[in-house]
Structure 1
Amino acid sequence: MYICNMFFILFLIISLSMYLLGLLMLEFNMNIMFEYSFFYLNSSSMKMFLFVDWISMLFMSFVLLISSLIIKYSSEYMMYEKNLKRFIYLMILFVISMMMMIISPNLITILIGWDGLGLVSYALVIYYQNIKSFNAGMLTALSNRVGDAALLMCISIMMSLGEWNLYNFKDFLTNELAFYFSFFIILASITKSAQIPFSSWLPAAMAAPTPVSSLVHSSTLVTAGVYLLIRFSSFFSSSVLELLMFISLLTMFMAGLGANFEYDLKKIIALSTLSQLGMMIFILSLGGLDLAFFHLLIHALFKALLFMCAGAMIHNLNDCQDIRFMGSLIYFSPLTCTCFNISNMALCGVPFLSGFYSKDLIAEISSLKLLSIFIYMFFYISIGLTVSYSIRLSYYIFMGSYNFYSINNYSDSNNYIMLKGMMGLVFFVIFMGSLMSWILFPVPYFIILPVYMKLLTLLMIVMGGIMGKVMGSLWYGILLNHYNFLKKVWFTAMMWNLPILSTFGLNFLFLNLGKSYYKNIDIGWLEYYGSKNLFFSLKNLSQFSQLFSKNHLKLFLFTFLAFIMLFYFV
């Protein structure tokens, strides 16, 4: 408990300091660069390069604010954990890895933070030590290794320039090198942000404890990919950005559709994260870097609160995550349900909560840059699906009959410390959207569109709400009894079979192949022809040479006679 309170206060103070410093840097357009050279190797300089501007300072302040409240929340959620210190230290390592990635544009430092995120996330996903957690951890680790390999390829590309600081040598990249570099950066980003076809690991990572899910899905692991794209967006050509747009659009649609047929509370919220990440990358591919960053910050707040409320419900329901067992929870825990509803409405983009200021702006900007009716239709349908699964979730949790055990002790009074952490975020979720829009956009966006295009966002919100109500109602449950309909539901809920496709042949092909290579080559032939055989050869040669050093007369005579006989017979 003491360690949680200590890091809560420390992170809160640092977060406030960074926020004020970030506002100062934004106001005066200040940047701070720090460079320290470690060593030179083959005309390549290994340097630690730190670049501090308002983007990095604001992002770090949000990460630290959310981390501090989640650590406070964890002190009660993980109260009966034997190794609570180990859990808190792992979460702090996670935050430090994210900081290293945020603050440096040097590819080497980014890789250290990137690998740190992957390694610590694996340790946290398998924290509960069961088969489901191990499988989810392996899927998470192997999916993220693709992005790590892509970053290593970027490092090898930059090796030809003798420097890994991109801001110094950006203009020296040839067209071919720039294309390969942007391709690998995008590959790394979409693996970390779980875009199609790497989406299956994000819902699987829900096997981690809920405080970890809250931290991972709001401001750290999955947002690292979007942040990398924002930082290196100047490298991308229009064709690469168009590819990115289609990937993000498909991810938005797939995640929104899948969440409408899912019954696991944490997986529904994870799929909503996937949908929002798709929206960030979509607006980024249209050139709206400031909007993508704005939505990144606001999404971090309401998604962290959503997970914390879900965790409080799961905690009270003896670790039950199925929303079909819930119902009428608003009578048992009105405060938790109020926080959940506020964050849910912010996710939907209801005026005038924080999510509205970023989502409405993104929708209107995308209407200005209309590329095709296909893209426009898919984007707005995805917005409607977001509202649909949010209303469906509220319907299952707040309404209907209570379907859990008859004897229970469900009350807000059980979650006193958790409520403190949640109440700290509620005010940010309500007010931070308008506040940040005034700060980031000193001149307000004034977008002129036809009336029907202006009202389209509101119309999709209303239609999505009606659809969510219908999907939670009684006759929809009757439809599920039909086998053909059930097959379509399973296909949609399983994210278009992406988890099966991601692991197809993985066990039999890659893992068994790796085991075979390790057994037969690493500890087989390489040992025989490599270090072990070399050791025995050197040992035998040294033993033979030691015979000469002993100066035996018989040995010299024998050698001399052998040479004479050889010379005579030849």
Structure 2
Amino acid sequence: MSICLIYYMMFLMLSIISFISSILFMVLDYSLMLEFELLSLNSISIVMTILFDWMSLLFMGFVLFISSMVIYYSKEYMYGDLYINRFIMLVGMFVLSMMLLIISPNLISILLGWDGLGLVSYCLVIYYQNVKSYNAGMITALSNRIGDVALLMAIAWMMSYGSFNYIYYVDYMKNSVEMNIIVSLVILAAMTKSAQIPFSSWLPAAMAAPTPVSSLVHSSTLVTAGVYLLIRFNYALTESMMLFLLFIGTMTMFMAGLGANFEFDLKKIIALSTLSQLGLMMSILALGEYKLALFHLLTHALFKALLFMCAGCMIHNVGGYQDIRYMGGLINQMPLTCTFFFISNLSLCGLPFLAGFYSKDLILEVLSMSYLNIYIYIIFFISTGLTVCYTFRLLYYVIMGDYNYLSLNSISDSGVIMLKGMSGLIFFVIIGGSVLMWTMFPTPYFICLPFIMKVMALLVTMIGIWIGLEFSKFAINYNLKSLSLLKISLFLSSMWNMPYMSTYGVNYYPLYWGNLIYLSMDQGWSEYLGSQNIYQNIKNMSMFLQILYNNNLKIFLLLTVMWVIFMILFL
């Protein structure tokens, strides 16, 4: 039996056990905490803690289920790869790091899972060993290091409590200075991991990884770690922190939605869509609705994993090209894949009664009920409209129209194993939202809104569909020949020039200035006045002494003669 099937069966069984346990824990209102003391230093005990409650078990169930489907899908997607076993083991390590993060109510064990995710993601992003992968891997690893350092600093501040189990303190110590510092550092860590502004540029760059990895990273593992950590810390968030997080979340959501409308790389469009949804999760979390944030996180994981798997299937079939302008009319050659792609895209838009609708519509209605300013209300609905807009633009380019690439091709739904992997998810993309809603919210939300606000989500969706289709037709007909339009398009698709700022700003200019300082100081003045100067002086002195030593007898006799002459003259 291949390593793919062993991992697939193991993860699938564990996910079923985890999901059933979470429902049981939810019904019984039960939590289980296991502690193993590793080390005790004075009054601080370093304890390995594992927390099983409905939230961690439910999330674990989802991560394991999606991972099992992705690994099964990889069996065919990575077929022919010489190092497929290494790839599957890396994915296994990635999932296990996420498990460690999910079940830890302890900052030290969270750091192990957190760093595990960062390091293994680096190995997976540079899996195709070329310059582009290397650059993407470096920006991913270095962006995440900021968050890792923030988490280390939070651990240091936790020492003032004598224990690293934050779960005991988040609610009771929320007004203490230490807890505010710890939570601020955790927010910074979550912003880097969940790619919020200004740390967004690594997320589309991480698309250099193989598609199964993208499917896993963008649905339920790496990028959701930050949101999950903040869900755990939600009790300790102060009002000012929540306002800051709300602003950052809405800006990320808007920026990613706008960028996806001008992007042509299939995987990057879906990556920007993930970024937009992460902004939505952060925003609703900042409004105090942590359960809704978790609900959207889980439903989003289902349809986003399937979206990436469908995209991978399409890229696989068109010979590795990712530009959507080369595609078109794929519904004729790949009907089943395109059907899955269409359903998961509609779920992303929040089409009624698919998984995404239950979380997205509820989030918008809860927002409409709350007392917030007009900026938040408008940007939420504009971002929702942009989501629908780029989704239908993507569908227009990929599914409708004529095929725009090689006339000699063999595109078909031939990948049986890939299709089976996707079929495992499609069922949950359709019914997952309703099932989750019935389990997570035993008492329904009572939402009372005026008619216009109630239908606003539907109205924005309809406008988004119309703009998305019209925009696609305009772009195809006019091909952005106007220079100003092209500049706007490039500015928006590059996420407001953020990749340039986070690579050139962080790498290029400091290195350039460092080189100037090195040339002028280390190899310039300090060399001239320092080591070289001292060396020259010592050399000159030693040469002078050498002359003295070599001619000591002559000098002695000369001095004797001079002394005798001196004596005769003056005495």
Q: TM-score, normalising length from structure 2?
A: 0.88
Pairing of 1:112-151 with structure 2 (within 5 A): 112-151=112-151
Tell me which residue corresponds to 1:179.
Answer: 180
Question: Displacement of 1:511 after TM fit?
Answer: 6.0
Tell me which residue corresponds to 1:210.
Answer: 211
* Residues in 1 aligned to 2:475 and 2:496: alpha-carbon distance in whole angstroms: 25
* Residues in 1 aligned to 2:514 and 2:159: alpha-carbon distance in whole angstroms: 29
One-letter identity of the residue aligned with 1:357: Y
> For the pair shown, which has the larger CA radius of gyration, 1 or 2?
2
Distance 1:515 1:29, change over 3 A: farther
Question: Displacement of 1:181 after TM fit?
Answer: 1.1
Distance 1:458 1:183, change over 3 A: same
Tell me which residue corresponds to 1:422.
Answer: 422
One-letter identity of the residue aligned with 1:28: L
Map Cα deviations across residues 444-500 of structure 1 (whole Å, 9 max, x no partner).
223110000001000000000001001110466416100011111111010000000
Map Cα deviations across residues 257-288 of structure 1 (whole Å, 9 max, x no partner).
00000000000000000000111111111111
* Residues in 2 aligned to 1:47 and 1:105: alpha-carbon distance in whole angstroms: 11
Question: Displacement of 1:439 after TM fit?
Answer: 1.0
Tell me which residue corresponds to 1:566.
Answer: none
* Residues in 2 aligned to 1:407 and 1:317: alpha-carbon distance in whole angstroms: 11
Tell me which residue corresponds to 2:396.
Answer: 395
* Residues in 2 aligned to 1:263 and 1:192: alpha-carbon distance in whole angstroms: 25
Tell me which residue corresponds to 1:378.
Answer: 379
One-letter identity of the residue aligned with 2:401: G
Tell me which residue corresponds to 2:69.
Answer: 69
* Residues in 1 aligned to 2:512 and 2:179: alpha-carbon distance in whole angstroms: 37
Map Cα deviations across residues 270-321 of structure 1 (whole Å, 9 max, x no partner).
0000000111111111111111111111000000000000000000111100
- Give unmatched runs, 5+ long, in structure 2: 523-571
Distance 1:370 1:490, change over 3 A: farther
Pairing of 1:225-240 with structure 2 (within 5 A): 225-240=226-241
Tell me which residue corresponds to 1:89.
Answer: 89
In 2, are the aligned partners of 1:281 and 1:292 still within 8 Å (CA)? yes
Map Cα deviations across residues 22-44 of structure 1 (whole Å, 9 max, x no partner).
00000000000111111112422
Q: Percent identity?
A: 57
* Residues in 2 aligned to 1:162 and 1:434: alpha-carbon distance in whole angstroms: 43
Pairing of 1:475-490 with structure 2 (within 5 A): 477-478=477-478, 480-490=480-490
Distance 1:475 1:18, change over 3 A: closer
Is 1:20 the equivalent of 2:20? yes
Map Cα deviations across residues 184-228 of structure 1 (whole Å, 9 max, x no partner).
010000100000000000000000000000000000000000000
Question: Displacement of 1:166 after TM fit?
Answer: 1.1
Distance 1:475 1:515, change over 3 A: closer
Tell me which residue corresponds to 1:314.
Answer: 315
Distance 1:427 1:5, change over 3 A: same
Question: Displacement of 1:177 after TM fit?
Answer: 1.2
SS in 1 for 2:351: coil
Distance 1:386 1:475, change over 3 A: closer
Is 1:334 the equivalent of 2:335? yes
Tell me which residue corresponds to 1:464.
Answer: 464
One-letter identity of the residue aligned with 2:343: I
In 2, are the aligned partners of 1:370 and 1:376 still within 8 Å (CA)? no
In 2, are the aligned partners of 1:249 and 1:282 still within 8 Å (CA)? yes
Question: Displacement of 1:159 after TM fit?
Answer: 1.4
* Residues in 1 aligned to 2:337 and 2:121: alpha-carbon distance in whole angstroms: 27
In 2, are the aligned partners of 1:479 and 1:485 still within 8 Å (CA)? no
One-letter identity of the residue aligned with 1:500: Y
Pairing of 1:98-113 with structure 2 (within 5 A): 98-113=98-113
In 1, are the aligned partners of 2:174 and 2:235 still within 8 Å (CA)? no
* Residues in 2 aligned to 1:167 and 1:322: alpha-carbon distance in whole angstroms: 46
In 2, are the aligned partners of 1:470 and 1:476 still within 8 Å (CA)? no
In 2, are the aligned partners of 1:132 and 1:207 still within 8 Å (CA)? yes
Which aligned runs of 4 or more in structure 1 are off by greater than 2 angstroms? 167-175, 474-477, 504-518
Tell me which residue corresponds to 2:410.
Answer: 409
SS in 2 for 1:495: coil
- Give unmatched runs, 5+ long, in structure 1: 522-570
Distance 1:35 1:512, change over 3 A: farther
* Residues in 2 aligned to 1:43 and 1:514: alpha-carbon distance in whole angstroms: 45
Is 1:453 the equivalent of 2:456? no
In 2, are the aligned partners of 1:153 and 1:184 still within 8 Å (CA)? yes
In 2, are the aligned partners of 1:218 and 1:303 still within 8 Å (CA)? yes
* Residues in 1 aligned to 2:54 and 2:25: alpha-carbon distance in whole angstroms: 5
Distance 1:468 1:107, change over 3 A: same
* Residues in 2 aligned to 1:11 and 1:513: alpha-carbon distance in whole angstroms: 50
* Residues in 1 aligned to 2:169 and 2:438: alpha-carbon distance in whole angstroms: 35
Distance 1:345 1:383, change over 3 A: same
SS in 2 for 1:472: helix
* Residues in 2 aligned to 1:67 and 1:514: alpha-carbon distance in whole angstroms: 44
One-letter identity of the residue aligned with 2:79: M
Matched residue count = 519
In 1, are the aligned partners of 2:261 and 2:386 still within 8 Å (CA)? yes
* Residues in 1 aligned to 2:4 and 2:56: alpha-carbon distance in whole angstroms: 25
Tell me which residue corresponds to 1:297.
Answer: 298
Tell me which residue corresponds to 1:538.
Answer: none
Distance 1:448 1:501, change over 3 A: same
In 1, are the aligned partners of 2:174 and 2:180 still within 8 Å (CA)? no
Question: Displacement of 1:6 after TM fit?
Answer: 1.3
Distance 1:480 1:132, change over 3 A: same
One-letter identity of the residue aligned with 1:481: K
Question: Displacement of 1:173 after TM fit?
Answer: 6.8
* Residues in 2 aligned to 1:174 and 1:237: alpha-carbon distance in whole angstroms: 8
Distance 1:41 1:514, change over 3 A: farther
Question: Displacement of 1:352 after TM fit?
Answer: 1.1
Pairing of 1:272-283 with structure 2 (within 5 A): 272-283=273-284
* Residues in 2 aligned to 1:411 and 1:476: alpha-carbon distance in whole angstroms: 26
In 2, are the aligned partners of 1:163 and 1:169 still within 8 Å (CA)? no
* Residues in 1 aligned to 2:285 and 2:204: alpha-carbon distance in whole angstroms: 24
Distance 1:63 1:475, change over 3 A: closer
One-letter identity of the residue aligned with 1:74: S
Map Cα deviations across residues 320-376 of structure 1 (whole Å, 9 max, x no partner).
000000000000010000000000000000011110000000000000114111111
Distance 1:513 1:94, change over 3 A: farther
Tell me which residue corresponds to 1:345.
Answer: 346
* Residues in 1 aligned to 2:241 and 2:486: alpha-carbon distance in whole angstroms: 38
* Residues in 1 aligned to 2:342 and 2:442: alpha-carbon distance in whole angstroms: 31
SS in 1 for 2:63: helix
Map Cα deviations across residues 5-34 of structure 1 (whole Å, 9 max, x no partner).
111111111100110000000000000011
One-letter identity of the residue aligned with 2:436: M
* Residues in 2 aligned to 1:475 and 1:139: alpha-carbon distance in whole angstroms: 32
Distance 1:188 1:477, change over 3 A: farther
